[in-house]
Amino acid sequence: MKNRLKEIRATKGISQEELAEALEVSRQTISSLENGRYNPSILLAFKIARFFQMSIEDVFIYEEGNVDGR
């Protein structure tokens, strides 16, 4: 699953550290999400979308045919 997290975060002027603190995760988690090394839990995806006042679909891009999450 791809995402627009880095783009959205940069547009809002929020650092990885600030976002991590707001979401109660590590900065490494944010980095891994942005680099596509990690897919978030549904709970974390909702928290991210809610933080930016966006829908999950506006942040995360589901790729058809990629059922196992890689």
pLDDT digits (tens, 9 = 90+) for 10-65: 999 999 999 999 999 999 999 999 999 999 999 999 999 999 999 999 999 988 77
3 bridge partner residues? 60
Q: Exposed, middle or buried by CB within 10 Å (0-12, 13-18, 19+), for 19?
A: buried
pTM for the predicted model, two decimal places:
0.85
C-beta separation of 54 from 12 below 8 A? no
- Specify the pLDDT at position 62: 85
CA atoms of 50 and 42, how far apart (whole Å)? 12
Q: For the chain, give the mean pLDDT.
A: 93
Q: What's the distance, Cα to Cα, between the start and end of the chain in Å?
A: 7
C-beta separation of 56 from 3 below 8 A? no
